[in-house]
Amino acid sequence: MAIDQKLADDLKSQGVHVTSFEGIINWGRSSSLWPLQFGLACCAIEMIAATMAKYDMARFGAEVFRPSPRQADLMIVAGTVTKKMAPQVVRLYNQMAEPKYVIAMGACAISGGPFKDGYNVLKGVDRFIPVDISIPGCPPRPEALLHGLLALREKISKEKLMGPHRARHADPKGTAERPVPEFGAHDLEPTFNPDVWKPTAVVRDPNTQ
Amino acid sequence: MTPDLPTILTRLQATLPAAAVAHRRNPGPSGQDSLLVAPEHLVAACRFLRDTPDLDFDLLTNVTGVDWPDPAKADAVAVPVEETPPPRGGFLEVVYQLFSTSRRAGPLVLRARTEDRQTRVKIPSVVEVYRSAEFQEREIYDLFGVVFTGHPDLRRILMWDEFEDHPMRKDYVAPDDYEYEPTPHDAVLEKAKPHYPAAP
């Protein structure tokens, strides 16, 4: 049931806060995101800078970097994901408890970035785990990471806990675990998880190609 | 004053007559010439260069590899010490850079070559002379496939153990994961084209 906004505002001026169960749950979740403490490359340095006094990620409740995936609910993939590292990243993701969110920080985590032609570089962490927010940049400045965090907070605050469009973690059929790729003779096996990522058909103009 | 490269070559030949194969010139701006060393005498040559007091090359800073599928290119600027080495197929080359910290000299560049690129890819490890070679030789084994005999722990260091290729070789074919290339150009464009949807 929707809340009458005018009535809610009236009550608010009287010191009574009316909200929905969903609203207060999402408010709690979005206001204290605990990131998993790990970094893969130079983006991690910007991530560290974002937590320090000058940028102060604590303003948004996300300063408590957890050394254990069991205590974390936000994975900031900060840096190049090598194919050798990809199974460990997926395993860490699997070990995180729901609800969990993933920020792909920087060009490398999004697509492989400047190293995408490399023989050991995964062309985007979204090939194996679902990514909520992508922050472009090489590396993104701390402000960009904070913007991404705010975008994630906004996304969480709009999550549905019930109904057909409910969030994955509220859906009994939603899966929290993704298969960990194996090391193959020439490449990871499989090279991507088709449940998470499918190559999008790009419409190309034959005259310009 | 550390002797120059021709002097070192002469002295190396006096001690180990079969060790030095060629004086490889570098016509580039660095002018950094190198010595081509027979692999079977590589360890002895390193020990000689390290233990001779007025040479005293006590530091190995860098070991790297080169893949030469075309031997003509590799030998374009090499001056053989004796008769011309017989023509052969491609080979792998390992390059060592020696410095002398006490005499502030270097780099002295040594090169050693495998017999071919497929099966006879053995080079003696210099770890027993220069401990700093251990990880770098592992890296060359990993990326080029040079097998260092006598290495204490020859495993892959960058790629995973199950990996079978050697990515830095010229004929390495990278896995084809160019399914989704929104803005391809140059080399990536060529690799992405086979994944383009068929024209309607």
CB contact under 8 Å between B160 and A183, yes or no, is yes
Closest-CA residue of chain B to A118: B174
Element (H, E) at B35: strand B34-37
Give residues with Cβ within 8 angstroms of B60, minimum separation 6: B46, B96, B97, B98, B99, B126, B129, B130, B132, B133
Domain locations along chain B: 5-159, 170-200
> Given pLDDT bands bounded at 50, 70 and 90, which one contains residue A102?
very high
Beta carbons of A30 and A153 less than 8 angstroms apart: yes
Beta carbons of B70 and B88 less than 8 angstroms apart: no
CATH assignment, B5-159:
3.30.460.80
Taking contacts as CB-CB distances below 8 angstroms, the residues of chain A near B165 are 119, 185-186
Element (H, E) at B94: strand B91-100
Complex confidence, ipTM:
0.80
The pTM score is: 0.86
pLDDT tens string A19-64: 888 889 999 999 999 999 989 999 999 999 999 999 999 999 888 9
CB contact under 8 Å between B188 and A117, yes or no, is yes
For B122-146, what is the mean pLDDT?
Answer: 93
User: Rounded to the nearest 5°, which phi and psi values hold at B99?
Assistant: -130, 160
Distance from CA of B138 to the nearest CA of A (A): 17
Residue of A136, A66, A134 lying closest to A96 (CA atoms): A66
- A 175-204 residues with CB below 8 A of B? 183-187, 191-192, 199-202, 204
Give the number of other Cβ atoms within 10 Å of residue A23's Cβ.
14
pLDDT tens string A172-209: 888 889 999 999 999 998 999 999 888 887 776 666 65
- A 80-99 residues with CB below 8 A of B? 83-84
> Is pLDDT above 80 for B54?
yes
> Is pLDDT above 90 for B192?
no
> Which of A119, A120, A183 to probe the B interface (max B CBs under 10 A)?
A119
Range of lowest pLDDT (A47-51, A150-154, B12-16, B151-155):
B12-16
Instruction: Enumerate chain B positions whose Cβ falls within 8 A of a Cβ in A.
Output: 158-165, 167, 172, 174-175, 177, 179-182, 187-189, 195-197, 199
